[in-house]
Amino acid sequence: MKKIVLCGGGTAGHVYPALAVTEKLKDYEIHFIGSDGIEKEILSKFQNIKYHEIPTVKLERKITAKNLLIPIKLYKSIKNAKRILKEISPDVIFSKGGYVSVPVVIAGKMQHIKIISHESDLSFGLANKIILRFCDTMCTTFSETGNKNKKCIHTGQPIRQKIFEGHPIRFGFHNSNPTILVLGGSLGAKFLNEMIFENLDILTEKYNIIHICGQKNYQDIKHENYCLIPYAENIEDYYSTADIVISRAGSGVINELLALEKPMLLIPLSKKCSRGDQIENAKLFTKLGYSLMFEEEEYSLELLLQKIEDLSKNNIKFKKNMKKTKKNHTIDEIIKLL
C-alpha cells in the first residue's frame, strides 16, 4: 500500500480540493499535516485520514515585528514536519498551498520525497511561489497560471463528488421568487454580511435570501423571505436550492459554481485585505461570461440591485456560457502525477 501526505490549510479552500483528490485514491494510506486551524476541524470527520498537527507561521503582509520571528518559527515547523515525514515515510506529498504547506514541502524536499502541488488562483500566492522552488510539479486551475514555467501543468480545480449530489432544501418561502444564496467563504465575510443585513427589506421584496454568514458573525435575525445560517456542512444542498449566488471570488467556490452552472455575482476581497487574487479570478470569470462582479469600493445599493436583476433576467445566457466550458477530468490528471 502506497502512502500519501496531504498538506494545506488556513481556509477550507485549501482543504476541500485535497479531499477531492483522495476520493479517487485506491490502495493508499492517507495522512494530512496541518495546523490547529480549520483544516483540523474538517479532517476530524474523516476516519480514513490520519491527522498530524505542526506549529505554523504566517507571514504578515503589513510591516510588523511579528515577521522578525518567522525564521525561528519556520525552522521549528520544518523540524516537526521532518520528524513526522520520517515516521510516515510517504511515497508522495500533495500540497494544496497556503502557509501551512511551506514547512511540509521544504521538509519533504530535504528527504527527497516526490512533491506535487496545486495552485487554485489565477496568480501564485506567496506560499506557492516558495513551494514552486521545491516541488516536482505544480498543477494549476487556470491555463494562464505559470504557463511559462516548465514545472506547471494545467489540470483544473479538483471538486468533490458530493458537490454534484445536492438536493434542494425547503425553507418555507411562501412565494415563487428567485432564491439568492449569499456566501462569504468558510470564515464569513464582514462586507457581504453588512451589505445584506442593511438591505434586507429591499432585497426580500423580489428575492428569497439564504445567507451563510460564518459562525463568528451569526446573529438572531428573523425576517420574511430570509434565512440566516452560520455555516453549512451540506453546502451542496444550498447550491442546489439557489438560482443565483452572491459570493467572494475564491477559486474553490467559484469553480464549484461553474461546474454546477450557477450564475454568480462576485464581490472579491479588496486589495486592502489581500494580494488581489480574488479580483483577478472575478475579472476572468466575468470576461468569460460566467459571472457579473463589482469591487467593494464600487458598491452602492443601486449597483447591487442592478447586477442581481441582470443575472436574474439573463440566467439562461450565463448557464449556456458555463455549459460550453470544457469539463476536464481534473482529479484523474492529478492522480496520474502521484
Let me know whether 172 and 223 are in one domain: yes
Instruction: Please report the pLDDT score of residue 62 as a whole number.
Output: 62
Instruction: Please report the pLDDT score of residue 237 as a whole number.
Output: 97
- Percentage of the chain beyond pLDDT 70 is 95
Instruction: Please report the pLDDT score of residue 325 as a whole number.
Output: 77
Let me know whether 44 and 132 are in one domain: yes
Let me know whether 154 and 173 are in one domain: no
> 53 pLDDT band (50/70/90 cuts)?
very high
Burial of 20 (0-12, 13-18, 19+ CB in 10 A): buried
Nearest to 3 by CA among 27, 41, 29: 29
Tens of pLDDT, residues 266-325: 999 888 877 889 999 999 999 999 999 999 999 999 999 999 999 999 999 999 999 987
**Cell numbers that stand for 175 in this block:** 412565494
Let me know whether 75 and 175 are in one domain: no
Let me know whether 193 and 137 are in one domain: no
Q: Please state, as a whole number, how many other Cβ atoms lie within 10 Å of the Cβ of residue 287.
A: 10
Let me know whether 144 and 169 are in one domain: no
Q: What stretch of H or E contains 282? A: helix 277-287
Count of the separate structural domains present in the chain: 2
Let me know whether 91 and 203 are in one domain: no
Let me know whether 243 and 282 are in one domain: yes
Whether pLDDT at 328 is above 60? no
Let me know whether 14 and 154 are in one domain: yes
244 lies in which domain range? 163-323
Instruction: Please report the pLDDT score of residue 275 as a whole number.
Output: 83
- Percentage of the chain beyond pLDDT 90 is 75
Residue 336 lies in a domain: no
Section 12-38 average pLDDT: 93
Distance from C-alpha of 260 to C-alpha of 292, rounded to nearest angstrom:
16
Instruction: Please report the pLDDT score of residue 189 as a whole number.
Output: 85
